[in-house]
Structure 1
Amino acid sequence: MSFKVLYKILGIVILSIIILGVLKGTTVMPNEKDNGFNRNWKSNEGLELERSMKFDEPLSTIAGISKNTIFLAGDNATAILLIDKKSFKRKDTLMIQFHPDPTKIVPFSIRIDTPYYFVQFVNLRAYLYGKFPNENIKLKEKAELPFTKSIQIDSSKVILRMFNQKGTGQDFAILDLESMEVKRDTDYVKMYDKTAGMSTDGSFTFDKETKRIFFVEYFRNKFYCMDTSISLQYIGKTIDTVATSRIELKSMEKNDTTIKLVSAAARLQVNKDCFAGEGLLYILSGMRASNETIKDFNSHFVIDYYDQKDGKYLGTVKIPKMEDRKYKSIYVKDGRLYVLYENEFRSYLLPQIKN
């Protein structure tokens, strides 16, 4: 290699480093600035770790927790790992005799409320449900507009967020699994742009004891409380200050016959995950508070919790981020916060919370 070529390569490398330095110095990341709110910390040092276990399987969600058993699910919706709740030892693997097309089962949502097993396959527009082990397992398909989110509320009803007839927005709806009848209701999430409901995307969670359904938006500081007839009870706000969603979509040709809508720019996820249980709504936040250092925020997940009755903010707890293990799922049961990381499952003791 000649010195002339070598100098050119060295010049390109130096220029690239300078450009990256300028971009880093002039670009303000969302959580590097003051976001204008404070948290009420219930545990300054983080929650007390109670138990932990490691595993090799690619598990992705806590599907349910009963009196004695924890149910963990992964990429395969028909194989569930059973963990003893007290000892954190493996008990068994639940295998459901159902063999869907492996290219079409993602994404799906799964919930176990013993002895019932529920799976909603978004791409198939289908629902697998019944009692286990392998007793009266049913698969039903609904030839209607696709849904984007779903949550099971009892043995025969599912709450959906699905596209309207024009495909311009999304409605909340109730699906009866026996009759496959869909009952729609007014969409409480107001649209501010032409994103077919994607700008107000979020996640469902349901508290079986209080019979309250929550839909928590990903990109704004809003959540919606409904009863089991999807009647709106109130609209709540998370404590952060992100009141608008700056989401733009663009079309991308997937093949000769399909056009896929994708985000035109990076999206700031305000609320990353949620869980409703024991009268509280827990939300894993993506926003740093003013009374939180950048170092602490980067090394911990923060979970804000709210009173289900009126949406009032009550406090915040934090759990450690694992450098080599991604966060997957949370679940609250019997005064404990259960956290699923990549290849590790943990339980933390929650502080006494009055609500």
Structure 2
Amino acid sequence: MAGSTYVIFLPYYQTIMRKSIYTLLSLLVAAFLIIAVLVWIAPAPNKQANGFNRYYLHPLPLPAIGTIPATNILDIVGADDSLFYFSIVQQPSGVIATSFHPGAQTDTLNIPLQASFSNAVSAYFFTQVNNRHITVFGYNLPVIYNTSRTDSSLHTFTNLSAGGFSQGYLLRDGKHFILRKLNISEKDQLFIRANTENDSILTENGLSELHRDGGMSTDGTLTYDRQTGLLTYIHFYSNRFFTFDSSLQRISNSHTIDTFTVSRFEVAANKDENKQVYTNAGPDQMVNGFSCADNNKLYVQAKLKADNEDEKLFNEHCVIDVYEISSGKYLGSYYLDIPAHTKVNQLFVQGDKLVVHCADNIYAIQLAH
């Protein structure tokens, strides 16, 4: 009897299971189609008119005049009349130099760092090189090492109060640093000026917006133009930028040519034991990418398509917008012969050469005039 019952009900059971599987698959397909439709019809910055136009300074994408592999290179750290300098991943005491000329060799400069300092900052540091100084910023300690390029015995260690910093520059006087540094009491990043001779600190008054999120929602790029002595801070998530001088006095408020005046970044906060931890609440909606400055010009990686833009060119090439630092005036744009999908980590400009640090290669671009 048990055997015959099993034979009678097995086909019925199989039919029920088959129908359940088909129903589940149908629901999954329907859910996928609904999500696909929502993504397709959702407002996206480059699928709709963004309310601004671009003027191109050269009709064709500017080609690279030289490239080097980005393997083991951390940052572009400076340039002089003929060479560009690069820091090395996890090696604060080494700097690579190259001219980008065809067949040019690379050389390595050794920075006379104490082993204890080098080890302490090896995972978190950035370096700057100019004609007179080499500076290593240990932003997690936070400590700054500054030495003369001609006499390594002339060096200073500047120890700062608790709270790391994310960006900084040695000013052209060789005695002061401008930093964007975490202020523990405000739970946000503020600009400060540190003096290497007497360790005095000047803190900004009203330059930065306070959101008390560690500076995440106002993240951006700090640039320094040694010719004018002016600093500019460009927001990633809105079109705003402002310029200030070495005494932390605001010179001007400006905006990039796009129309997104409100930050496009959301912050989520949670508790990690006794510390407040901030993360982004969703995908980054970047308006501006990385920036650099030289000779009263500001170069900004553009993230949004202009209404008069050739869609094919924009989707295939990196775009750089150029502004006058002293006035904030838009001067025009360039297409670069670098794929638009390439991850750009940094921009650096010296005279008529723009150097672009990407995930795979570092490109030197001759700017057209």
**What whole-Å deviation, never above 9, does each CA across 1:208-258 have from its counterpart, x for those lacking one?**
11111111111121111112222211111111101111443222344x343
Check whether the contact 1:125–1:147 (CA below 8 A) recurs between aligned residues.
yes
2:62 paired residue number: 47
Alignment partner of 1:23: what SS? helix
- 1:6 and 1:321 map into 2 onto residues whose CA distance is 48
Deviation at 1:302, TM superposition (A): 1.2
- 1:48 and 1:108 map into 2 onto residues whose CA distance is 31
2:223 paired residue number: 205
1:83 paired residue number: 98
Deviation at 1:103, TM superposition (A): 7.8
Check whether the contact 1:126–1:142 (CA below 8 A) recurs between aligned residues.
yes
1:245 paired residue number: 263
1:186 maps onto 2:205 in alignment:
yes
- 1:62 and 1:265 map into 2 onto residues whose CA distance is 30
Deviation at 1:318, TM superposition (A): 1.4
Unpaired runs of at least 5, structure 1: none
Corresponding letter in the other structure for 2:300:
I
1:14 maps onto 2:32 in alignment:
no
1:191-340 matches, within 5 Å, as 191=210, 195=213, 197-254=215-272, 256-322=273-339, 326-340=343-357
Alignment partner of 2:50: what SS? coil
- 2:355 and 2:75 map into 1 onto residues whose CA distance is 11
**What whole-Å deviation, never above 9, does each CA across 1:101-157 have from its counterpart, x for those lacking one?**
768655433211134111222221111221348823544321334433322213221
| Residue identity (%) | 22
1:23 maps onto 2:42 in alignment:
no
Indicate how the Cα distance of structure 1 residues 249 and 101 shifts in structure 2: closer, same or farther if over 3 A, else same: farther
- 1:169 and 1:55 map into 2 onto residues whose CA distance is 36
1:95 paired residue number: 110
- 2:82 and 2:313 map into 1 onto residues whose CA distance is 35
Check whether the contact 2:318–2:340 (CA below 8 A) recurs between aligned residues.
no
Indicate how the Cα distance of structure 1 residues 349 and 84 shifts in structure 2: closer, same or farther if over 3 A, else same: closer
Corresponding letter in the other structure for 1:183:
L
Unpaired runs of at least 5, structure 2: 1-13
Corresponding letter in the other structure for 2:307:
S
1:54-73 matches, within 5 Å, as 54-55=68-69, 57-73=71-87
Larger helix percent: 2
- 1:177 and 1:149 map into 2 onto residues whose CA distance is 17
**Structure (1 or 2) with the larger CA radius of gyration:** 2
Indicate how the Cα distance of structure 1 residues 103 and 324 shifts in structure 2: closer, same or farther if over 3 A, else same: farther
- 2:43 and 2:49 map into 1 onto residues whose CA distance is 11
1:36 paired residue number: 51
- 1:265 and 1:14 map into 2 onto residues whose CA distance is 25
Check whether the contact 2:66–2:102 (CA below 8 A) recurs between aligned residues.
no
Deviation at 1:43, TM superposition (A): 1.7
Check whether the contact 1:37–1:239 (CA below 8 A) recurs between aligned residues.
yes
Which of 341, 345, 348 lines up with 2:362 in the alignment? 345
Deviation at 1:13, TM superposition (A): 5.6
Question: Size of the alignment, in residue pairs?
Answer: 348
Alignment partner of 1:135: what SS? coil
